[in-house]
Amino acid sequence: MNTLVCQSPGNFSYVENEMPALIKGHVLVQVKRVGICGTDLHAYQGTQPYFNYPRILGHEIAGVVIDNNGSTTCANKDQVSILPYFNCGECIACKNGKENCCVKMQVFGVHIDGGMREYIVVPETSIVTCPGLDLDALAMIEPFSIGAHGMRKAQLKKGEQVLIIGAGAIGLGAMEYARINGANVIAMETDNTRLDFAKKYLNIKHTINPLEENALDKLNEITHHEMPTVVVDATGNQKAINGGLQYLAHGGKYILIGLQKGELIFSHPEFHKRETTLMSSRNANRIDFEWVVAQIKNGSIVPANYITHRVKFKELKNVFDSFYEPGQKVIKIMVEFD
């Protein structure tokens, strides 16, 4: 079985491994698609928290069930996605319905080896069956769900002004949720290609490139000096995260979907006078996956629009560095095993 291993930051190698052993309560899946996200790119760079090396990356999965091992959740030959957040079911978070932040969390492709290999064995409880969705759409459910989970925490009101900082795949997924739920979305991003994508495919009216205009002035203009009542960081950039509070309305919510390895540094008086609600958003829940699947099926979200780059699994090692090059205009990279 061919496997791509990140041996250390900046170092990939293909390795021949034995087929994974099938154990009770688990399902054997042949991998067909793996989406590349910021977590994978940061892991390759060595800047992602929670990582140890060597590690098999990949958590945005689409595949075909080869042996359901007696499971009643899926059948052999089903095309499936997976919930890549393996939780214990027994800790305080799990008992309170917050299994997405389980104390003993094992994220597939992060804490444990993931999907950059031809076959995987995963818990039957992680299987997501979605009749009617193609392989590309199945692999895109997870990143959309990350954004949806963060925005669900915001408890949006129709017409609410929402600023989403970062228009990568996760930020765009957050915009999708906010747009569909009736918010007035403002996109902030330093890459004009991504802002153009948000305008074209998500019908985002207001966009800001802080390298080209004064972001505070622009937000005051857009919101008639009220400022957004929800600000979301989806950049994973320390400077952006620490600077996002200045854009928030008094009484507002600041939600961190993006993740970085450093410290949060805010002005306490600025934080205090707003009576700011600060929330982190980790992973997603099955309810978020179900919401995304429903939006894909009704046409509100079109996964195909997001896939800007495709690469064969056997070629990934040789081209991975190129995804960092200026001008690549990456939204979503899809790895194909066919």
Tell me, yes or no, whether 77 and 111 share the same domain. yes
- Taking only the tens place, the pLDDT of each residue in 85-128 is 999 999 999 999 999 999 999 999 999 999 999 999 999 999 99
Tell me, yes or no, whether 219 and 245 share the same domain. yes
Residue type at 211?
L
Tell me, yes or no, whether 233 and 111 share the same domain. no
- Say which CATH number the domain at 192 has: 3.40.50.720
Q: Which pLDDT does position 45 carry in this prediction?
A: 87
Q: Which pLDDT does position 18 carry in this prediction?
A: 92
80 inside domain = yes
Tell me, yes or no, whether 125 and 162 share the same domain. no
327 inside domain = yes
Q: Which pLDDT does position 70 carry in this prediction?
A: 95
74 inside domain = yes
What percent of the chain is predicted at pLDDT more than 90?
Answer: 90
Tell me, yes or no, whether 111 and 163 share the same domain. no
Q: How many domains does the chain have?
A: 2
Tell me, yes or no, whether 100 and 151 share the same domain. no
Tell me, yes or no, whether 118 and 176 share the same domain. no
34 inside domain = yes
Tell me, yes or no, whether 125 and 221 share the same domain. no
191 inside domain = yes
Beta strand 26-36 with 119-123 is antiparallel
Q: What pTM, to 2 d.p., does this model score?
A: 0.94
- Say which CATH number the domain at 83 has: 3.90.180.10
Tell me, yes or no, whether 88 and 197 share the same domain. no
Tell me, yes or no, whether 268 and 319 share the same domain. no
Q: Distance between CA atoms of 15 and 5, rounded to whole angstroms?
A: 7
Structural domain of residue 122, as residue ranges? 2-129+302-336
pLDDT in single tens digits along all 338 residues of the chain: 999 999 999 999 999 999 999 999 999 999 999 999 888 988 898 888 888 899 999 999 999 999 999 999 999 999 999 999 999 999 999 999 999 999 999 999 999 999 999 999 999 999 999 999 999 999 999 999 999 999 999 999 999 999 999 999 999 999 999 999 999 999 999 999 999 999 999 999 999 999 999 999 999 999 999 999 999 999 989 999 999 999 999 999 999 999 888 899 999 999 999 999 999 999 999 999 999 999 999 999 999 999 999 999 999 999 998 887 777 889 999 999 97
SS3 readout for 182-221: CCEEEEECCCHHHHHHHHHHHCCCEEECCCCCCHHHHHHH
Tell me, yes or no, whether 228 and 194 share the same domain. yes
306 inside domain = yes
Q: Which pLDDT does position 325 carry in this prediction?
A: 76
Q: Provide the token pair at 278.
A: 């600060």
Residue with tokens 């989406």: 35
219 inside domain = yes
Tell me, yes or no, whether 24 and 82 share the same domain. yes
288 inside domain = no
